[in-house]
Amino acid sequence: MNLESVDSGQITFNGEIIAGPDSKITFPYGDIQIVIQDPRSSLDPRMSIRQIIEEPLKFLSQEKRSTLGSSENILKLIRAVGLREEHLDRKPHQFSGGQRQRVAIARALVTQPKLVVLDEPTSALDISVQAQVINLLKSLQKEFGLTYLFISHNMGVVKYLCDRIGVLNQGKLVEVATNDEIFNRPTHEYTKKLLSSVPTMFQER
């Protein structure tokens, strides 16, 4: 997302280089969106909810901005995340943490992205709200045909939401496998230690 400069290496997406030391590389903002951990810091308090949702469209062509930014499409998104039309003219401080994260999710979906990066999207929320947001993400994935890159230390949520899992240890990818393989037949020692440290309810008996 160009949040950090790249010193070496490259990141490719759909066969195209999207990040690397070359500053001339153009990042495909319309194809990749992100939902970060704390919705309070990701939403501009001066903007209305409508303005926040429309913000990513500025990276797209005029034609796409007109289509995706239509009142009909914005209303569809706000309803899809469980909010109402009257919420569009309010400011972030008028919402709960869970509602603000729903706004952040709607903002991420407005460009019709091919990939949504979810960086600990529920860890800043109350326990009672976390399950609601996770279930929302799962239903949106089915409704819009979304691909998620879900970053989390919560193995219970990972097991519930993810199809394929990559395990990181000190910044290195040590194992990549299906959900079933990771939780029932892990091969790397770090993965085994990670699973042994979480409640057994997240593991198959």
DSSP 174: E
- Where are the extended beta strands (E) located within the chain? 11-13, 16-19, 32-35, 115-119, 148-151, 164-169, 172-178
pLDDT tens per residue, range 40-68: 898 999 999 999 999 999 989 999 999 99
Q: Is the pLDDT of residue 118 over 50?
A: yes
pLDDT of residue 20: 86
Closest listed residue to residue 146, CA positions, set 180, 126, 116: 116
Tens of pLDDT, residues 157-170: 999 999 999 999 99
- Band (pLDDT 50/70/90 cuts) for residue 205 is very low
Q: Would the pLDDT of 128 be above 90?
A: no
Q: Give me the residue spans of the domains in the chain.
A: 31-162, 165-204
Q: Write down the pLDDT at residue 138.
A: 96
Give the span between the Cα atoms of 48 and 52, in whole angstroms.
6
- The C-alpha atoms of residue 47 and residue 2 are separated, in whole angstroms, by 23
- pLDDT value for 75: 97
Q: Which residues contact 95 (CB under 8 A, 6 or more apart)?
A: 87, 103
CB atoms within 10 A of CB 115: 15
| C-alpha pair distances (Å), 153 with each of 22, 52, 85, 97, 133 | 32, 28, 34, 20, 16
Fold of the domain built from segment(s) 31-162? Rossmann fold (3.40.50)
Min mean pLDDT across 15-24, 89-98, 178-187 is at 15-24
The residue ranking higher by pLDDT, 143 or 24, is 143
What is the C-alpha to C-alpha distance for residues 168 and 44, in angstroms, rounded to an integer? Answer: 32
Which pTM does this prediction carry?
Answer: 0.90
Structure-token pair, residue 125? 């929320």
More confident residue, 199 or 154: 154
- 191: pLDDT strictly greater than 90: yes
Bridge-based pairing of strands 32-35 and 148-151 is: unpaired
Q: The tokens of 151 are what?
A: 């970053």
Locus of tokens 């309070």: 40
% of the chain at pLDDT higher than 70: 95
Confidence bin at 28 (pLDDT 50/70/90): confident
128: number of Cβ within 10 Å:
8
Q: What are the φ and ψ backbone dihedral angles of 172, each rounded to 5 degrees?
A: -110, 140
Please state, in angstroms and rounded to a whole number, the distance separating the CA atoms of residues 182 and 175.
8
Mean pLDDT, rounded, for 63-84: 96
Instruction: Identify the pLDDT of residue 2.
Output: 66
